[in-house]
Structure 1
Amino acid sequence: MNKKKITVLLTSVVVLVAAYAWYQSTKLYGNDKESIVKVINSVEGYVDKDIRIVQIDDFDDVRIVGFLANHKPSYIEFAQNDKGNYVWKHIESHHDGTIGMFLPGTLGKIMFVTNDENDIAKMTVDINGETLEQTFPPYEQNVAWMDFPKSKDGGYEYRNYKYYDKTGSLIEENE
């Protein structure tokens, strides 16, 4: 090889390494509260929305973040990569109401995110014939978790949603 070819080859390698390093340094991860907000605001449909982190929960290598997007209950799911950084996998918002019910990943749990306008203090729901109850602090931003009951076939049937205010009065019922 002549000197010119070696110089071009070395220059190409240096440019590629520098470009890769720059790309890695600008990639967004959900490693802390500030970077989670940046990740959310980088997702189509969430750009320029007011983001309020309510709670961050880690389950082994999965990070679930309950947040409010323009005051709407929402969540984002991250998976930890081999370098320990959290890469976003799924994002979802509940566009109606003050409470959002989500089924993130394969956790076997139901996630509830409420905003500070939520007047529901308790809900009950029948899942596979078993009545489950979840309480919420009314008029507070909150994340609550409910474990799924055991299932014989891995499927779940939801019936008889009932919502109560802080005095125990029934607000709404859906069968």
Structure 2
Amino acid sequence: MVWEMIAVDLKEIKKHADALDDSKKREPLKKAKRLLIIGAFLLLLGFFAFYFNDTQQLYGNDEESILKVIHSIEGYENNSIEIVAIKDMNDRRYAGFLSNNNPGYIQFQKNKDGNYRWQHIEVNVNEAFSAFAPEPRLFMIVTNEENKIAKMQVSVNGQEIEQEFTPYKASVTWMFLPKTEKSHYTFQNYKYYDKDGELIN
């Protein structure tokens, strides 16, 4: 009887030992499976985050979407925005606009998908006539209906330049500066004239 009990106990011990060995063998597999599931979940999460962000991204592909982009930018959410003019130059897009009647412009860059992502925005407050320089040789003159300047004369690196404007009207004028061998431009002797040709002091 005693030997039978010992034999039974030995069988039980062996059974538990075998079960323990199987458990130890399966443990690395369980860990690997858990890591695989976690990795797949994170990958899926990253994909959805990227997809959601991409679908929510606003682009300046037309006038309506440019308005949406401007209104999405902090500080411009509730402003009255009027797009005055849009111009494309290679992969860049410039839009002159009025924000609460203040002249400004926004710059976009075309991405590989052909969409225009905004890069820079600038507004000059309490001005009727504002000059912006988005590129080294490009000037954007943005005006509102209070602008009374009809003509501007300026010396650029010693060369006299004259530019006309439409007074008392929201407008964007694109000025391309003359090429120069110098590393910079020098602007001197600004003169502004009204619609009657009178010098504005």
TM over 0.5: yes
Give me the whole-angstrom Cα distance separating, in 1, the residues matched to 2:68 and 2:54: 16
- Alignment pair present for 1:83 and 2:113: yes
Q: Which has the larger radius of gyration?
A: 2
Shift of residue 133, structure 1, vs aligned partner: 0.9
Give 3-state SS (helix, strand or coil) of 2:114's partner: coil
- Cross-structure match for 2:129: 99
Q: Distance in 2 between matches of 1:97 and 1:20?
A: 41
What stretches of structure 2 of length at least 5 have no aligned partner? 1-28
The RMSD of aligned alpha carbons is: 1.7
- In structure 1, the residue matched to 2:93 is 63
Match of 1:153 among 159, 170, 182: 182
The number of residues matched between the two structures is 171
Partner of 1:43: 73
Between the aligned partners of 2:175 and 2:50, the Cα distance in structure 1 is: 42
Shift in Å at residue 6 of structure 1? 5.2
Which amino acid in the other structure matches residue 153 of structure 2? T
User: 1:128, 1:136 → 2: CA distance?
Assistant: 22
Give 1 or 2: higher strand fraction: 1
Deviation of the 1:29 alpha carbon: 1.4
Q: For residues 16 and 156 of structure 1, what CA distance do their matches in structure 2 show? A: 48
- Equivalent position SS for 1:55: strand
Instruction: Choose the corresponding residue for 1:27, options 43, 57, 61.
Output: 57
For residues 35-56 of structure 1, what are the alpha-carbon distances to aligned partners after superposition, in whole Å with 9 as ceiling and x for unaligned? 2112212223322111110000
**TM-score scaled by structure 1?**
0.89
C-alpha offsets along residues 64-120 of structure 1, whole Å, 9 cap, x if unaligned? 1100011011011111111111111111112232111010134x1211011111111
In the alignment, the residues of structure 2 paired with residue 170 and residue 132 of structure 1 have an alpha-carbon distance, to the nearest angstrom, of 16
Overall identity of the aligned pairs, in %: 44
Helix, strand or coil for the counterpart of 1:104?
A: strand
Residue 118 of structure 1 pairs with residue 147 of structure 2: yes
Query: Could you state the TM-score of these two structures normalised by the residue count of structure 2?
Result: 0.78
Rounded Cα–Cα distance in structure 2 between residues aligned with 1:166 and 1:40: 33
SS for the counterpart of 2:119 is: strand
Structure 1, 34-43 or 115-124: larger mean CA deviation: 34-43
* Greater helix share, structure number: 2
133-142 or 3-12, which deviates more: 3-12
